[in-house]
Structure 1
């Protein structure tokens, strides 16, 4: 009876004693404080710009640039292009070197990582030296080495190295034939797209059949036929029905330079080689750790089923290791994309060199330029992480 009376007379506790409500309250308070700080910082910046009579806003993007860019994937001229066009050119140059770099560094990194676990003593030691050497030298020094020490001593255009018909190498870059497409050449990339889609569908079907029946299908041969054979057959058919759908403009030696063809800048080559070889050293260690994380019993079980070492690695070990490899692999992809900003040191016209360099120096609008550049790199990183997280969820073990 006394217990009931004491419980009835006890005062009610305040809602602030509820951990859930208290947590929400503190979070809302933190958001308000951070928002207020950002507001005050923006207000002070605007007042300081107005006091210094510095223009603000994004209207400068429509102003004529007045400078040229050595590599532009879209039409660009000093007289007719704007700062906004320069931003797009720099962005595209960053994206293309990042995309190509991710593909090449993945191939090289996996090859070196697997080589580190090779039973061949020489192969394993060479891979170890590669990893320990390249990942412990700063990337900036490697870029300068490739650009100055390797590509710098190349001869002048008049003394270009000839590498087969239509291929030349000199101090101004690598020159190769430039393809010229006819009106009906669109069928070739369509055939390539159909081949890629067909390959994906066949691989899925073959995987389901292997799980259901244990029978393996020649996925590699079918992939080769669809991805390479189908465009080649399309090109041959178009050649028989009409003129050649694809012709080539070959570079020709002139008195002082090469005329025609397509030029790949030495800055692009040096940046790509540096990024790929540097990042591949880290990916190799990630791959090695992922493979070692797979139980040795998996390889022994695969061997008892009659699988060869190459099949065991490709069908059993690597698919399981990918669950460990993907998260740090994503970080390396992000590092490669962000490290591409070091291109400014060798003069490659990426986003930082064009937008943060030339455009900022000519316009003086530091806040807008820095905000746009930071937003671009943030967006690229978030999109890359999003795609890799989707792939990671597909590769994750499903709990039952």
Structure 2
């Protein structure tokens, strides 16, 4: 039987410990504020509303050096970090699953290539790989004085790739909503296919219907808007006196960072997938083959769903590492959060405590959000398998 006095004693000890930690934190903050005041530095986040006065090479939102504030610079760096991290997670997942499945392929050449890929990319430092990709990308591109041109709206040079930029404002916002609807409908098809297999029925086709939903719905929406007299506005790039102006600019720094993060993370994901596939008993494959399922259907509908219970936990850690590794962008000049905020903003404002605290809070929030989503998926998938 639990002793009530011991329980109260334990609660008292914990309360004293929390109070002591809070006191230490307060004293440290007060001491830091006093030292900053002596140096003429005003503590607080009021500096975010001051004029930034510097330009940023790549921005997903309107940003002008003459009118932008440090808050705008923070948002630009944050969005750039989210862009490259999100795309790297998607690309590395696709490539990693393909390499991991190839490592258990019946084709000797596919197995050898997958093993060489994993051992090569996994055992080289990411910092070195980013430098190699950055140099390779820039050397392979045409010079800025003579960019390559395709049609009337696509340019490629050492300054980057410039493409037409659609503006999804007003009724044009229906187009990205159609993409989301197509992805949701494809998810329903996948669930229906798995349910049919669980009931011993013929699986529902997913690949081509899903592709039509994801690509066809946005195309039909854009066509309907054009017929209604409200087409999606497009900003076209054009040759300027010094550089290509307008449109959507994809800088070499972005391409090098995205390729480096994707290929490096894919090597680790491939090993995670391989271990997950090995965890599924061979009898599951034999039973699926007895139901006249093809090898692709056996993998997609039987093996992978069971392997995911082993794949998801380490895959979550790899996603977190990919997001944190994006901070190495400062080495090649990609304007991510660390480069913009911890670099330029910190040097101009000297608000070290606030800048470091905001940057740490962003990466902590991104990591916790990613872990929450993956853990919920893992719990839901594990629940359906019981």
When normalised by structure 2's length, the TM-score is: 0.91
Deviation readout 1:179-204 (Å, 9 max, x if unpaired): 36696534433433433333333443
- Asked if structure 1 preserves the Cα contact closer than 8 Å seen for 2:197 and 2:301, the reply is no
Greater alpha carbon shift after TM alignment, 323-332 vs 34-43: 34-43
Q: How far apart are residue 331 of structure 1 and its match?
A: 0.5
Q: How far apart are residue 249 of structure 1 and its match?
A: 4.9
CA, structure 1 residues 95+142, in 2 after alignment: closer, same or farther (shift >3 Å)? same
Residue in structure 2 matched with residue 261 of structure 1 by the alignment: 247
CA distance in 2, matches of 1:319, 1:37: 49
Alignment of 1:305-324 (within 5 A): 305-324=291-310
Q: How far apart are residue 285 of structure 1 and its match?
A: 0.6
Q: Secondary structure at the match of 2:374?
A: helix
Select the residue among 315, 321, 341 that pairs with 1:355. 341
Alignment of 1:137-176 (within 5 A): 137-152=124-139, 154-162=141-149, 166-176=153-163
Residue in structure 2 matched with residue 87 of structure 1 by the alignment: 74
Greater alpha carbon shift after TM alignment, 17-26 vs 320-329: 17-26
Q: How far apart are residue 240 of structure 1 and its match?
A: 4.1
Alignment of 1:41-120 (within 5 A): 41-120=28-107
Residue in structure 2 matched with residue 28 of structure 1 by the alignment: 15
CA distance in 1, matches of 2:152, 2:270: 36
- Asked if structure 2 preserves the Cα contact closer than 8 Å seen for 1:158 and 1:255, the reply is no
Q: How far apart are residue 380 of structure 1 and its match?
A: 0.8
Structure 2 residue runs without a partner (length 5+): none
Deviation readout 1:263-306 (Å, 9 max, x if unpaired): 11111111111111111111111111111111111112112222
Q: Secondary structure at the match of 1:78?
A: coil
Residue in structure 2 matched with residue 6 of structure 1 by the alignment: none
CA distance in 2, matches of 1:209, 1:323: 21
Deviation readout 1:320-357 (Å, 9 max, x if unpaired): 11000101100011111111111111111111111111
Deviation readout 1:223-249 (Å, 9 max, x if unpaired): 223222233233334444547x24655
When normalised by structure 1's length, the TM-score is: 0.88
How many corresponding residue pairs?
Answer: 385
CA, structure 1 residues 378+131, in 2 after alignment: closer, same or farther (shift >3 Å)? same
Structure 1 residue runs without a partner (length 5+): 1-14
CA distance in 2, matches of 1:196, 1:114: 24
Q: Secondary structure at the match of 1:268?
A: helix
- Asked if structure 1 preserves the Cα contact closer than 8 Å seen for 2:192 and 2:204, the reply is no
CA, structure 1 residues 80+252, in 2 after alignment: closer, same or farther (shift >3 Å)? closer
Deviation readout 1:10-54 (Å, 9 max, x if unpaired): xxxxx9996544543443333233223222222221222223332
* 1:326 maps to 2:312: yes
CA distance in 1, matches of 2:304, 2:151: 39
